[in-house]
Chain A
Amino acid sequence: MTQTLPVTITVNEKEYKCEVESRLLLSDFLRHELGLTGTHVGCEHGACGACTILFDGESARSCLMFAVQADGHTLTTVEGLAPSLSSSPAGGKEGELHPLQQSFWEAHGLQCGYCTPGILMSMIPFLQKNPNPTEDEIRHALSGNLCRCTGYQHIVDAVKLAAEKMK
């Protein structure tokens, strides 16, 4: 018995209508059904933060939701930060990296890059709420995302730089 349900989900300002199996995780829906492989899957139990997306504008773990739960909701994934064709829901300009992404580039805020999309999607709402964060606040805000390469220092630097750029 495999139950499938119709869903209408808006991702990065584009509306998708699909049939999904009830047990399909939202993270797998984004990657396998929509081909939006920028959302990464690490631990699949909510510990690592690699799959973080914006769900109705708030950061959430996409591996801890079912795709059916997103029916009628609005999502932003890392692909929505620097769109090539349309305007960005998160405020980036066409053909350019989002200032947050640009800051990660300039401050060497990534090595292998596996954790980066999740970190970016955690930092977007964080910087919206705290445009002038202290280093302590940045470190606290990053605590829900694991990075096994950088030792975090350059990530903290990148977020500081982004806060400057986004003023």
Chain B
Amino acid sequence: MKPAPFEYHAPDSLEQVLDLISQHADEAKILAGGQSLVPAMNFRVVQPSVVIDLNRVAELSYIRENGNVIRIGSMARERHLEFDLSIAKRIPLMTETVPFIAHPQIRNRATIGGSIVHADPAAELPVLMLALSARLKAKKVSGERWIDAQDFFAGMFTTALEPDEILAEIELPFMPPRTGWSFMEVAPRAGDYALMGVAALVTLEKNAKCKQAKLVYLNAGDGPVDAKEAAKILEGEKLNDKLIESSARLASEKEINPFGNIHTSPDFQRHLANVLTKKALKQAIHRAEENLQ
């Protein structure tokens, strides 16, 4: 239960970070909040020979509004997301979801970028990236590029980042007007990994018909699962229980692909997805209706 030896670097600028990564891309691990990497190192599941610690790079830690988006530096702590007033106002889905992540002691250290890049299918923040149509800025020595969230998650613990790139910034559009939201999950104990979870967003037209919907699931496949068909059948319709029922069935029976684990069978996960989808959609619709005026 002790990490293997490694060479430690704690640069204090992004430029130095990128230089170090370009030198050590194959053998280095980036240390963000350390709440997933350090346990893996303690177990020696991961034995990097070089660790590049981002915790002294102040320029990667910010949350700021810019036009119609919120820009978040990849080293912003989850605890800061939880209490940020701008996020609460513009992206209330995030404010509602973050307290489900582990415990305050973990969220004090854990970062948004670390969780996204770790790409654990059971994690909450990757789900939010898809639900909120985030754009992710990757940087390397020779330049930068933007990656849409839907192209970022490439499978279990795998992302579209190249070995010499780091995630520098997350760009989240404000939730549109007349939008309701909900995040629900079922975990054996508060803070544990959830057996199943869903983020729901519903945007209504002024005439109360559904303009756009999103349903994204955690622990439902090898990454966050965007149930596009289940969302699509809601669009253009005046929402009612029958449609909600159909959407939940489509998502839970056809679109998700849960594997089960020691705590649950895939069948039970599908059952949870069905129940959670109905509850989350109802809450999201209710909140959207409250925002209609």
Contact = CB atoms under 8 A, between A and B. Distances in A.
Same complex: yes
B39 interface: yes
A127 interface: no
B39 A144 contact: no
A140 B10 CA distance: 35
Interface centre among A21, A49, A59 (most CB of B within 10 A): A59
B35 A64 contact: yes
B105 A22 contact: no
Contacts of B39: 44-46, 64
A71 B10 CA distance: 11
Q: Contact residue range for chain B?
A: 20 to 34
Interface in A52-108: 52, 55, 58-61, 63-66, 68-69, 71
A141 interface: yes
Contacts of A63: 38, 42
Interface in B158-183: none
A144 B103 contact: yes
Contacts of A144: 102-106, 191
Instruction: Point out which of B4, B38, B51 has the most chain A C-beta atoms below 10 A from its C-beta.
Output: B38
Contacts of B4: 23
Classify the secondary structure of B's interface with A.
loop
Nearest to B8: A22
Contacts of B103: 49, 143-144
A122 interface: yes
B108 interface: yes
B241 interface: no
Interface in A137-158: 140-141, 143-144
A59 B8 contact: no
Given A65-B34, A68-B10, A144-B191, A52 B5 contact: no
Given A25-B42, A141-B104, A143-B103, A60 B109 contact: yes
B8 A65 contact: no
Contacts of A21: 5
Contact of A143 (B8, B10, B190): B190
B11 interface: no
Nearest to A144: B103
Given A65-B34, A69-B55, A144-B103, A60 B108 contact: yes
B79 interface: yes
Contacts of B102: 144
A134 interface: no
A136 to B, nearest CB: 10
A116 to B, nearest CB: 15
Contacts of A61: 35, 105-106, 109
Given A1-B5, A5-B8, A143 B106 contact: no
Contacts of B109: 55, 60-61, 64-65
Nearest to A139: B190
A3 B108 contact: no
Interface string A8-42: 00000000000001110100100000000000000
A45 B42 contact: yes
B108 A22 contact: no
A60 B6 CA distance: 23
A46 B35 contact: yes
B2 interface: yes
Given A52-B105, A141-B104, A143-B191, A23 B53 contact: no
B38 A64 contact: yes
A144 B109 CA distance: 14
Given A58-B108, A140-B190, A3 B42 contact: no
Contacts of B79: 58
Interface of A: 1-3, 5, 21-23, 25, 28, 44-46, 49, 52, 55, 58-61, 63-66, 68-69, 71, 122, 125-126, 140-141, 143-144
11 contacts: A22-B7, A45-B43, A58-B108, A59-B104, A69-B53, A69-B55, A122-B104, A143-B103, A143-B190, A144-B106, A144-B191
Interface of B: 1-8, 10, 34-35, 38-39, 42-43, 51, 53, 55, 79, 102-106, 108-109, 189-191
Closest 10 CB pairs of A and B: A144-B103, A22-B8, A45-B39, A143-B190, A44-B1, A64-B38, A58-B108, A59-B105, A23-B3, A143-B191
